[in-house]
Amino acid sequence: MSTQPFLTPQSEIAGAIAVALNIYALSAGADFGGGVWDLFAIGPRRDRQRELIANAIAPIWEANHVWLILVVVLLFTAFPPAFSRLMTLLHIPLTLMLLGIVLRGSAFTFRSYDSQRDRVQRRWGRIFAIASILTPLLLGVILGAIATGKLSAARLSNPASFAEVYVQPWLAPFPIGVGALALVLFALLAAVYLTVEAKDAALREDFRRRALWAGTAVAVVAAMNLYLARAHAPLVWSELTEGSLAMGFRIGAAISALGAMASLWLRRFRWARVAAAIEVSLILWGWALGQYPYLVPPDLTVDNSAAPPATLRLLAIALVAGLALLLPSLRYLFKVFKEGY
């Protein structure tokens, strides 16, 4: 780890990026998860499940989506070389993820506003649901590829085959494992949130059952990922197992996972919501702190890719001012449309 003070301007902005990513996972992640459950809507209450999902997502998904944009602009403003490297080497998965984002957002909106005929509805619904699965998968693949530490400058400067440079860093077991983890986590979040939002008991039970399934899947995939991390992401692995802080995160994540399952079992849905959110956050921060101070291992760190101080200072001011404006507005949005916030 670096010998620098922990809180430098660049580490603060890096922290802000992680916070934005965290909120994106908790908010937009659940919107994607909703799409997963739309695809798997079955049983006698199929249409009502879909309706509940759509109503939960509709007023907020565009606002939730902006957290990703914030991540991107903060990254390219504060750490231009890191942004540039990621966008070059991960061109393919990023482009695929964008396709997912475009299709999810537009299909969802078209479905809400297109004719109410069933066939047309289903067509948009299918695209919406499939894009909702593709996008989190790719998001996870991208984060996983970063964690493997294979996105080095050398990859670009040495003459190598197309596949070696642009495909192998992400089309590998560990990134795919992280993709699967992101997908099941988002599905878990969505199901848990929906247990709180469902107005009648039968629907609530539907999503309780789904949440329990998703929680189990998370446990399996997470265990698999730990195994893969050991072989494929040495940096994250060593931090995870040896760094005491990161170890704490992992134990915390496991405890909150158990807490979420227990609360679901006992039908304490609000508790389950809190526990699942903590679980996801701790997993994310375990990864973020695990690779700190590296932004893009093996060589780009928070320090050596930081923008000049003048930019960082202004950005910090803009962030504080922007959040002062944003947080009350977000509170208002959730107050109008969601209960219990």
Partner 1 sequence: MSNLLAARSQMAVSLAFHIVFAEVGIAMPLMMVIAEWRWMRTREHVYLELAKRWAKGTAILFAVGAVSGTVLSFELGLLWPEFMRFAGSIIGMPFSLEGFAFFTEAIFLGVYLYGWEKISPRAHLAAGAVVALSGVASGIFVVIANAWMNAPAGFRLIGGQPVDVNPIAAMANPGAFSQTLHMTIAAYASTAIAVGGIHAFVLLRQRKSLDERLVRFHRGALAVALSIGIPAAILQPLSGDLSARFVARIQPVKFAAMEGQFSSERGAPLRIGGWPSEVERRTRFAIEIPRALSLLAYDDANALVRGLEEFPRNDWPPVPVVHVSFQLMVALGTTMAIVATWAGVVVLRHKSFELSPNDRPLLLGLSIIAPFGFLATEAGWFTTEVGRQPWIIFGVLRTKEAVTPMPGLIVPFVVVSLLYCGLGAVVVWLLWRQIVKTTGDRTQVDRISSATTSRP
Output the smallest distance, CB 28 to ligand HEM, in A. 11
Contacts of residue 58, defined as CB under 8 A and 6 or more positions apart, other chains included, come to 108, 112
Measured from the CB of residue 168, what is the shortest distance to partner 1 in angstroms?
14
C-alpha 65/C-alpha 78 separation (Å) is: 21
When the beta carbons of 66 and 87 are compared against ligand HEM, the nearer one is 66
Q: Which one of partner 1, ligand HEM, none interacts with residue 162, CB within 5 to 8 A by kind?
A: partner 1
- Our CA angle for 216, 338, 197, nearest 5°, is 40
| 112/304 with CB nearer partner 1 | 112
Q: How far is the CB of 94 from partner 1 (least distance, A)?
A: 6
CB of 321 to partner 1, least distance (A): 8
Q: Does 106 participate in binding ligand HEM (rule CB under 6 A)? A: no
Q: CA 258, 264, 267 angle in degrees (round to 5)? A: 140
Q: Which residues contact 276 (CB under 8 A, 6 or more apart)?
A: 188, 189, 192, 211, 215, 256, 260
Q: Judged by CB, which is closer to ligand HEM: 112, or 241?
A: 112
The residue written with tokens 């998703």 in the block is: 214
| Spatial distance between the Cα atoms of 40 and 50, rounded to a whole number of angstroms | 10
Cis peptide before 293 (omega within 30 of 0): yes
DSSP of 296-322, one letter per residue? ETTTEETTTTPPPHHHHHHHHHHHHHH
Residue whose C-alpha is closest to residue 192's, from 78, 271, 130: 271
Cβ distance to ligand HEM smaller for residue 39 or 66: 66
Residue 69 in contact with ligand HEM, rule: CB under 6 A: yes
CB under 6 A: which stretch of 60-68, 145-153, 274-282, 328-336 binds ligand HEM? 60-68
3-state secondary structure of 144: helix
Which entry of partner 1, ligand HEM, none binds 7, CB below 5 to 8 A by partner kind?
A: none
Burial of 54 (0-12, 13-18, 19+ CB in 10 A): middle
For ligand HEM (CB under 6 A), the number of binding residues is: 4
At 295, which helix (H) or strand (E)? Answer: strand 294-296
**Binding footprint of partner 1 on the chain (CB under 8 A):** 55, 58-60, 62-63, 65-66, 68-70, 72-74, 76-81, 83-88, 91, 94-95, 98-99, 101-102, 105-106, 108-110, 112-115, 156, 162, 166, 307-308, 310-311, 314-315, 318-319, 322, 325-326, 329-330, 332-333, 336-337
Q: Is 98 in the site for ligand HEM (CB under 6 A)?
A: no
Q: Which residue is nearest to ligand HEM (CB)?
A: 69
Interface residue with ligand HEM among 54, 66, 219, 255 (CB under 6 A) is 66
Contact with ligand HEM (CB under 6 A) among 65, 123, 209, 268: 65
Q: What residue ranges bind ligand HEM (CB under 6 A)?
A: 62, 65-66, 69
